Amino acid sequence: MKRHPQNKKLRLYAQLTYNNKRVFLKAGPLVEEYLQSLEDVIDAALRDYKRVFAFRFDLHFPDSPDLDSEIFTSAAITRFIESFKAQIRHDRKLAKRARRTAANTVVRYVCACERSNAAYPHWHVGCLLNWDAFSKIGLYKLGNDNMYNRVIKAWAGALQMKVEEVIGLVHFPRNAEYRLHRDDEASIDEFFHRASYLCKAASKQYGSGQHGFRSSRR
């Protein structure tokens, strides 16, 4: 494979499939190492759970020069992930109190930081959870106890802003929800194809000291 011209440690990937799963090539070549990370995350989730709830969303930074410049570093996505995980743990703790057999879940994710012509970068995120614990995003309305509100709250905390201020900074694309089944290759292929967009080489920053792509550990 051809090496990435801006990062020789990475290899470009332009084949139609990756380990027999379709990939998204409309935005140009992908990064093979990122594809492998995506596959590892999906495989780990399906080893733990027969059914997996996966969903996509994007996180944007406010267009505000008054904010501390540290807000715009990759530390923001770290704060987001930790806040989101804490909310999931809290929800499962309450669920266990109400019903001893309530399912638990590990939070797994892939995320990519991109910056095209905008003043600030943005993050694309794919999250994977145990379907028996969570199975939908819920209504896109503040105040509900659902996944939409958890994402909004986590990004508000990461940016040190009020929840109401970040509503327009979180975007859930069309067809954001997926159910992956361990014994259904088609369901896995569908999400892999969608999430492989995060693995594209274009629009990412290299050599800036920031992480352009990251994923949860197995």
Residue with the two structure tokens 């057999």:
101
Lowest mean pLDDT: which of 27-31, 56-60, 65-69, 118-122?
Answer: 65-69
Partner residues linked to 122 by β-bridges: 60, 114
Residues in contact with 117: Cβ distance below 8 Å, sequence separation at least 6, in sequence order: none
Residue 121: pLDDT band with limits 50, 70, 90: confident
| Full domain range(s) for residue 84 | 3-215
Average pLDDT over residues 151-176: 95
Closest CA to 192 of 1, 3, 30: 30
- Both tokens of 105, joined, read 């879940």
Pairing of strands 122-130, 21-22: unpaired
Q: Which residues of 120-156 are buried (b: 16+ CB within 10 A; e: fewer)?
A: ebbbbbbbbbbbebbeebeeeeeeeebbbbbbbbbbb
Angle at 102 between CA 101 and CA 103, to 5 degrees: 110
Average pLDDT over residues 66-83: 79
Q: Give the model's pLDDT for residue 140.
A: 96
Q: Give the model's pLDDT for residue 69.
A: 57
Please check the confidence at residue 120 and state whether its pLDDT lies above 80: no
Listed in order, strand segments (DSSP E) in 25-147 are: 30-31, 51-60, 108-114, 122-130
Partner residues linked to 31 by β-bridges: 12
Residue 73: pLDDT band with limits 50, 70, 90: low
Total domain count, the chain: 1
Over the stretch 180-218, which tens digit does the pLDDT of each residue have? Answer: 999 999 999 999 999 999 999 987 765 554 568 999 986
133 close to 105: Cβ distance less than 8 angstroms: yes
Lowest mean pLDDT: which of 59-63, 174-178, 189-193?
Answer: 59-63
Q: How far apart are CA 123 and CA 105, in angstroms?
A: 23
Residue 166: φ, ψ to 5°: -110, 5
Q: Give the model's pLDDT for residue 211.
A: 64
Please check the confidence at residue 1 and state whether its pLDDT lies above 80: no
Q: Dihedral of CA 20/21/26/31: which sign?
A: negative
Angle at 86 between CA 80 and CA 71, to 5 degrees: 20
Please check the confidence at residue 163 and state whether its pLDDT lies above 90: yes
DSSP helix/strand/coil, 24: coil
What percentage of the chain exceeds 90 in pLDDT? 76
Q: Give the model's pLDDT for residue 75.
A: 87
Q: Give the model's pLDDT for residue 68.
A: 60
Q: Give the model's pLDDT for residue 8.
A: 54
Please check the confidence at residue 67 and state whether its pLDDT lies above 70: no
Over the stretch 13-55, which tens digit does the pLDDT of each residue have? Answer: 999 999 999 999 998 999 999 999 999 999 999 999 999 999 9
